[in-house]
Amino acid sequence: MASIVITGSASGIGAATAAMLREAGHQVVGVDVAGAEVCVDLSSAAGRAAAIDGALTRCGGRIDALVLCAGLGATHAPEKIASVNYFGVSELLDGFKGALEAGTMKSVVVVASVAATHGEWEGSPLREAFLAGDEEKARALCAATGHAAAAYAASKHAVVCDVRRRAAAWGARGVRLNAVAPGAVETPLLQQSIADPVVGKATAAFIPPLGRRAEPAEIAQVIGFLLSDAASYVHGSLLVVDGGIDALARPCRF
C-alpha cells in the first residue's frame, strides 16, 4: 500500500483519482478547502505551508506519490487563479520533494490544461514572474490582464514549464515528474464555466473532436498510468488528454 497525496481531492478529477487509487488499495491523503483529510486554502502561502505540514504528518514524512490537481477555472479572480494554479503547485513540489525521494513510487503528476499549449509565451513578463516565484508580481500582472481566461492560460503554461525545468534535478534523484493537459472534462469547474456570462456560451458550444467531453475517470486513469511502473521511462512530459482539441487547434505544432 502506497501513501499518495492528492490536492483537489474533494471534487472532479481529483476525487475520481482519489477513488481509483483507494479502490486499488492505496492510502490517499486528500488536500482541499473542505471535505479532505487536510483542509487548507492553497491560495495563500500560509495555506500551502499548512498543506505540506499536514500531509507530511499524516504520511509519517514519506510520500510515495503525489498528484497536484487543485485548481480554479477561468471564472475566478485572475490573481486568485495565479496563486492557486501556479503557487499551489510549485510550492508543494518544493515542500514534498524530500518526502518523495524517501518514497516507493517516486512519481508526481501535475494537472495542467490544454490551455497551457495555447498562446505565445516567449519573453512574457508574466511567465517570468511565475517562474521567478514572484507571487506578488504574477498576481498583479494577471489582474492587469483583466481576463480570467488569460490568467488561467498563463498559470497553466507556467506550471508545465515548472514541471519540465525540474526534470534534470528530480530525475537525478529518481523521482519522475509529469503533467497532464485535459481539455473539457465533466466536472463542477466546467459547469461553472458553462454558467459564466462571459465564457459560458462558447464553452457550452464547443465539442472536442472525439464528439464528447471527458469523464473525470478518463483523466484519472491516465494519471494512474503516469504514476505507475508502466510509465517507468516517462519523465518531464506533458501528456495531452483532450479528445483531440490540441490537434484541432494546431495540427503542425507539437
> What residues from 127 to 166 belong to the interface with ligand NAD (CB under 6 A)?
none
**Active site (annotated) includes residue 233:** no
71 binds ligand NAD (CB under 6 A): yes
11 binds ligand NAD (CB under 6 A): yes
226 binds ligand NAD (CB under 6 A): no
8 binds ligand NAD (CB under 6 A): yes
> What is the DSSP track for the chain?
--EEEEETTTSHHHHHHHHHHHHTT-EEEEEESSSSSEE--TTSHHHHHHHHHHHHHHHTT--SEEEE-----TTS-HHHHHIIIIIHHHHHHHHHHHHHHTSSS-EEEEE--GGGGSS--TT-HHHHHHHTT-HHHHHHHHHHH--HHHHHHHHHHHHHHHHHHTHHHHHHTT-EEEEEEE--BSSHHHHHHHH-TTTHHHHHH---TTSSPBPHHHHHHHHHHHHSGGGTT--S-EEEESTTHHHHH-TT--
Among the listed residues 99, 152, 178, 227, the single catalytic one is: 152
13 binds ligand NAD (CB under 6 A): yes
The binder of ligand NAD chosen from 2, 72, 150, 238 (CB under 6 A): 72
74 binds ligand NAD (CB under 6 A): no
> What residues from 98 to 127 belong to the interface with ligand NAD (CB under 6 A)?
111, 113
Kindly write out the interface string for residues 14-53 of this chain, putting x where it contacts ligand NAD by CB under 6 A and - elsewhere. Answer: x-----------------xx-------xxx----------
Across-strand partners of 67?
Answer: 6, 109
189 binds ligand NAD (CB under 6 A): yes
10 binds ligand NAD (CB under 6 A): yes
5 binds ligand NAD (CB under 6 A): no
Footprint of ligand NAD on this chain (CB under 6 A)? 8, 10-14, 32-33, 41-43, 69-73, 84, 111, 113, 182, 184-185, 187-190
Residues catalogued as catalytic: 152
